Structure 1
Amino acid sequence: MIQPGLKGVIATETAISHVDGERGELIYRGYSAPYLAKHYSFEEVAHLLWEGHLPNAEELQELKRKMNAYRKIPTHVKNVLGSLPKDTDLMAVLRTTISSLSSHAFHEKTLNEQAIHITALLPSIIGFRKAQLEGKKFSTHPDSTGFADYYLHLLIEKEPSPYHKKALETYLILTMDHGLNASTFSARVTTSTESDLISAVTSAIGTMKGPLHGGAPTGVIQLLDDIMKDGDVEKVIKEKLQNGEKLMGFGHRVYRTIDPRAEVLKERLLQMSGQDTWLNLAIEVEKQAITLLNEWKPGRRLYTNVEFYAAAIMKSVQMKPAYFTPTFTASRVVGWTAHSLEQASNNTIFRPQSQYIGPPVQQ
């Protein structure tokens, strides 16, 4: 029986992550992802996905040292950035610049080292491109800062508040991996041909670029903007439901209960209550939207998903929509590379079958 999109088809085994849509669980290597987001840093969780265990103090210090060192953009990558047309979208910029990292020297590194290098460099590329387009000088942040702090500083060009830093880091941890999603599958398929890690990540970025995978928060921003402009939460939501419009940020293809990632982000935002207008609005919108969805679409189990609160966080730090999917990419690259490492360690090339539905043989 054909399953369009391979929905429900088990294509591989993995020890990296597990998504249970019925129970609303996301697990990273035996740990609840929400628990990790509450108690550990981006670097610690990245180490868990790459190495299979949380780092001790010495391992964490060494990982941070490497990530700080790999933030520096190679000269040839800067040249590539300088040669790209200004209207090249940012995901295409990432795809091209990451591809340009490929060299004999890069491929001499271990796969784990390559994964660290690619992950550490992505925020710098995004920040450099932002400065380039705005006609500003690219300035880095002190090497001692963590991944989320460094990235946020590059985007907003000022010292971010502790609330915003923690909210963004929580989001980055919760979106590092999510089972065999489209972009992760792309990375594993590429790796299964015994291609290199750069090619696997480039494949994944190309997949993430598609709006059905990486562009969801943009619709939530429009919803929040509409409500902010009108001033009446209930009125705007009812109008959208009456017009048959999809309420962006609610419902998920996998989760049939509350998205566990959304719950953790909501907890972070509640801690910031009163600190930011957009975050306060998001909390009120969720409350009324869930009530109205239960009235209008009973039994559909449409709950808040991670994109809803991700959009609220991005709006609160004044992040432009063009940076939403690249930010998702800066997080998910950890999962892509972890899956590529796992695929390479016990490889079988992916080669599914297709069913021919063309015309019969003519002669």
Structure 2
Amino acid sequence: MELETIMRPGLQGVIAAETRLSRPDGQRGVLVIAGYWLERIAPYATFEEMVYLLWHDRLPTAVELATFKAELAEKRALPPIAEDILRAAAAQKQPVMDALRMAAGTLNLVVDAADAQAAAQVAVAAFPTIVASYWRLLQGEALIAPRADLSHAANYLYMLTGDVPDADAVRALETYLNTVIDHGFNASTFTARVIASTQSDMIAAVVGAIGALKGPLHGGAPGPALDMVFEIGTPENAEPVIRAKLERGERLMGFGHRVYKVRDPRADVLNAAAERFFVGERAEFYALVRHVEQVALDLLEEYKPGRSLKTNVEFYTALVLHGIGLPTDLFSPTFAISRVGGWTAHALEHYASGRIIRPLAQYTGETERRWVPITERD
């Protein structure tokens, strides 16, 4: 019997596979990660616990977590050629995401490509090393070796600055990494699964995912979301500045999402993290951000009624990462440092039970053309 075929541009609404890893519910504003509502786990777990959960479908015991952290820590070093590639990229001032993609392709030199689990560990462990090393090269600074005694998040911050970060900064970064680790079949995750579905190796799947993530329609632009706050500067400027932007037809970065028709639950988790982090002298800036958000929401409802353009993850991503001290050029690469945990989990899941992903296409070209020898063509 012939299967019915329906064309859905962009595969919107098409279920391509089953997964136990995450479920974004755009109508209710809920994100479930491996059985846990996001707000019930992201503010509390370490990043290593989140990765373990995605890979093994349960949280680790204390002994298992210690072992897992040690395994990841010992895989943070890069193959020597990766440093050469990063130096060459830095000499040309290549974007950080491009340098990450290039260096990630060398990771099969330090792991057996046939061992998907080990390759997944290498990818997760090495991403912070690649990003931090490249960033220091761009700044003309000496590279800093990773420290095995620091957690995944703490080591990343340490390798960027040379200073051991305080506990509040580590907790804020971990909450961010946990919040964006997985989000259904987004473009980069789907890319990783498609590559894995061919039985290609884990590093190939991860590199392909980076290529998808660096596209502006997927990776987003959390930096500009905060730029608007800096432009506004004071609470009384919020309404005239935002109203002028909307009058000019500009998009307000940090608002609206293809999946969520209500408030993005990830924004709520990061807002709570920011509220705990932005205290003392930082509290005034946090208050300005909340004021700008509310004015933007009110004006969006006025100018675009019924569109349900709510705050998305980019708005509070920018606030949290800025608070930690990361420059905007590191926002997307830091997202990749988190999302590689999800990419690898999806690849492992598809290796275990999936078939090759092979959708159809709606052909729109000619069908009755005749061959004409070159001597007879006009």
Q: How does the TM-score come out when normalised to structure 1?
A: 0.94
Q: Which runs of 5+ in 2 are unaligned?
A: 1-5, 371-378
Q: 1:317 to 1:273 in 2, by over 3 A?
A: closer
In structure 2, the partner of 1:271 is 276
Contact 2:111 2:122 in 1 (8 A): no
Within 1, Cα distance between the matches of 2:345 and 2:275?
32
Number of the residue aligned with 2:67: 62
The answer as to 2:325 corresponding to 1:325 is: no
Note if 1:96 corresponds to 2:91. no
- Asked if 1 retains the 8 angstrom alpha-carbon contact of 2:47 and 2:152, the reply is yes
Change (3 A) 1:108 1:305: closer
Partners of 2:230 and 2:159 in 1: CA distance: 25
Change (3 A) 1:245 1:108: closer
Assess if the C-alpha contact under 8 Å between 1:175 and 1:328 holds in 2.
yes
1:201-216 counterparts in 2 under 5 A?
Answer: 201-216=206-221
What is the alpha-carbon distance in structure 2 between the residues aligned to residue 283 and residue 341 of structure 1? 40
Amino acid paired to 1:137:
A
Amino acid at match of 1:71: R
Whole-Å separation in 1 of the counterparts to 2:347 and 2:125: 17
Aligned equivalents of 2:210, 2:295: Cα separation in 1: 35
Shift of 1:195: 0.5
* 1:303-337 Cα deviation digits (max 9, x unpaired): 11111000112222332222111111000000000
- 8 Å CA contact 1:230, 1:236 repeated in 2: no
> What is the alpha-carbon distance in structure 2 between the residues aligned to residue 300 and residue 239 of structure 1?
19
Q: Deviations over 1:58-107 (max 9, x none)?
A: 1100111011111122223222223334322111111111111223x612
| Correspondence for 1:51 among 56, 62, 75 | 56
Once the two structures are TM-superposed, the CA of residue 248 in structure 1 deviates from its matched residue by 0.9
Is 1:282 the equivalent of 2:292?
Answer: no
Residues 128-175 of structure 1: per-residue CA shift (max 9 Å, x gap): 111212221112354222111221233344343433322221111010
Q: Which residue of 2 aligns with 1:239?
A: 244
Instruction: Rate the CA distance shift 1:354–1:232 in 2: closer, same or farther, 3 A.
Output: same
- Alignment correspondent of 1:87: 93
RMSD of aligned alpha carbons: 1.9
User: Do 1:278 and 1:312's aligned partners in 2 also have CA atoms closer than 8 Å?
Assistant: no
Aligned to 2:192: 187
The residue type equivalent to 2:336 in the other structure is T
Aligned match of 1:316? 323
How far apart are residue 229 of structure 1 and its match?
8.0
Q: Partner letter of residue 20 of structure 2?
A: A
Tell me the distance in 2 between the aligned counterparts of 1:12 and 1:78.
Answer: 38
| Mapped contact 1:16–1:28 kept (Cα < 8 A) | yes
Is 1:150 aligned to 2:155, yes or no?
Answer: yes
Check the 8 A contact 1:278/1:316 in 2, yes or no: no
Q: Secondary structure at the match of 1:358?
A: coil
Report matched runs for 1:1-363 at 5 Å. Answer: 1-84=6-89, 85-103=91-109, 106-107=111-112, 110-140=115-145, 142-228=147-233, 232-275=237-280, 276=282, 278-363=285-370
Unaligned segments of structure 1, at least 5 residues: none
Give the AA of the match of 1:94: L
Identical amino acids, percent of aligned pairs: 40
Q: Distance in 2 between matches of 1:129 and 1:108?
A: 24
Aligned-partner SS, 2:23:
strand
- Count how many residue pairs are aligned between Structure 1 and Structure 2: 362
Deviations 1:46-66 (A, max 9, x none): 100011110001110011101
Mapped to 1, the partners of 2:369 and 2:244 lie a distance apart of 55
* Displacement after TM superposition at 1:356 (Å): 1.1
Q: Which has the larger radius of gyration?
A: 2
Structure 1 residue identity aligned to 2:295: Q
